[in-house]
Amino acid sequence: MEHGLDTQLLAIVAAAVAAWTLVGARLQRWNVSAPIAFVVVGLVVANRPLELVDVSVGSSALRTLAELTLAVLLFSDAARVNLRELRRDAGVPTRLLVIGLPLTIAFGTVAAAALFSGLDIWVAAVIAAAVAPTDAALGAQVVQDRHVPGRIRRTLNVESGLNDGVATPFVSFFVAAAVSELSSQPGTSVAGAVGDLAIGAATGVAVGLGAAFLLRVVRRAGWAADSSRGVAVLAFAVLGYAVALELGANGFVAAFVAGLAFGSAFDAAERDADIEFDAQVGEVLSWVIWFLFGAVMTTALEAAGWRTVVFAVAALTVVRIAAVALGLISTRLHALTVLFIGWFGPRGLASIVFGLIAYDALGPQDGEVVLAAVALTVLLSVVAHGISAAPLARRYGARVADTDRSRPEHVAVRALATRSRLTTG
């Protein structure tokens, strides 16, 4: 029977997902994370000598799937970080988001502009903004490690749950500005981007609060089974994203704001149960994206050179750590804690999606530079943060446990739910 499916690709992806659910817990004990595993499988099956699948980095299907996955995860991550609960200890996470993230983008822009000679400043800003947000899934191993003080785990959890959504307007604005300048039409795209962000935020508020209201009504009326609420939440997450796109607005901002509005309307237990299915679907989709990233990685890195390597290393180390250190001035956190938070800023799915968006929007030459810088930064992060998470968390935990109990690290806080990891339950 004739059909349009690439059944070989589908079979390989399905086998990889099934294999990870069966042995992933064992691999994680050896510091092999899901992103590492799926990137390696994608790299192996798409290149010589096997060459079993052929995935194009410019594929519209790849970008569509990646964007939908990010929208689902933006909703669940934002919903998990309940703003009402966060108010009790918002100081450090707020500093990382309001001060640390913009400084990371600013320092990254300077680094990109200095390294990639002749690159437009707006394109340099696109690179910096794309690799600025941290990934909740890649940071889950540290966030769930009991060796690390609860307040620090909560801080990393909140930062990674919110900063990809906060970074979205920066990426959108910089891409619009770059396209505007490079196409000699100043202002038009930038003004449109600002409007898109505003409409996207308004759409997100309407969908998030509307979803919360409807779920409360049907629960009280007994019109829907509890088992279907998770499916409804996933549907609302996709709805917010899709409606914003239909309105010509930013779908990522809509999904993110919808998650914030939805999560803040419920108590922790009720919210976590409702968003679990959404989070699990998003996680499985993210595995597929990591597989596809591995499959297209060699193509994405074709434009990489020594400058790309220097930028990627700098983005993961001095750029991030310096921004975090400045953002956390006067918090009285131990220098080792500041360094720990600065190091554990893994880059992941959001950066990949932002890189693909920039690759499509910019000209071929600039697009390839952006994609190579983003891809190499993410690749180095997957390996470095994946391998170092468990041992460094234990060492840091042991060191900070010996400090005075009055230090800020030891302040008791209420834990927030982390993104589900299907292999560990």
Residues in the chain: 425
For residue 260, give the H/E element and its range.
helix 251-263
Distance in angstroms (rounded) separating the CA atoms of residues 31 and 382 = 11
Percent of the chain whose pLDDT exceeds 90: 50
Task: Identify the pLDDT of residue 279.
Answer: 86
Average pLDDT over the chain, rounded to an integer: 87
Task: Identify the pLDDT of residue 59.
Answer: 83
∠ CA 6-17-77, nearest 5°, is 110
Q: Per-residue pLDDT tens for 123-178?
A: 999 999 999 999 877 777 788 888 899 889 888 888 888 888 889 889 988 998 88
Q: Per-residue pLDDT tens for 247-269?
A: 988 899 999 999 999 988 887 76
Q: Count of H helices and E strands in the chain? A: 18, 0
Task: Identify the pLDDT of residue 416.
Answer: 62
Grade residue 189 by pLDDT with cuts at 50, 70 and 90.
low
Query: Residues 87-106: what's their mean pLDDT?
Result: 88
Q: Report pTM.
A: 0.89
Distance in angstroms (rounded) separating the CA atoms of residues 166 and 134 = 11
Task: Write out the two tokens for 202.
Answer: 């308004």
Query: Residues 36-53: what's their mean pLDDT?
Result: 91
Distance in angstroms (rounded) separating the CA atoms of residues 134 and 114 = 23
Which residues are CB-contacts of 351 (< 8 A; sequence separation ≥ 6)? Answer: 130, 131, 133, 135, 374, 377, 378
Do residues 313 and 380 make contact, with C-beta atoms less than 8 angstroms apart? Answer: yes
Q: Per-residue pLDDT tens for 299-355?
A: 899 989 999 999 999 999 999 999 999 999 988 899 999 999 999 989 989 999 999
Highest mean pLDDT among 175-179, 263-267, 290-294, 420-424: 290-294
Residue 331 in 3-state DSSP? coil
Task: Write out the two tokens for 159.
Answer: 């930062």
Grade residue 3 by pLDDT with cuts at 50, 70 and 90.
very low
Query: Residues 13-25: what's their mean pLDDT?
Result: 93
**Longest pairwise C-alpha distance within the chain:** 70
Task: Identify the pLDDT of residue 408.
Answer: 83
Grade residue 182 by pLDDT with cuts at 50, 70 and 90.
low
Lowest mean pLDDT among 102-106, 228-232, 243-247, 365-369: 228-232
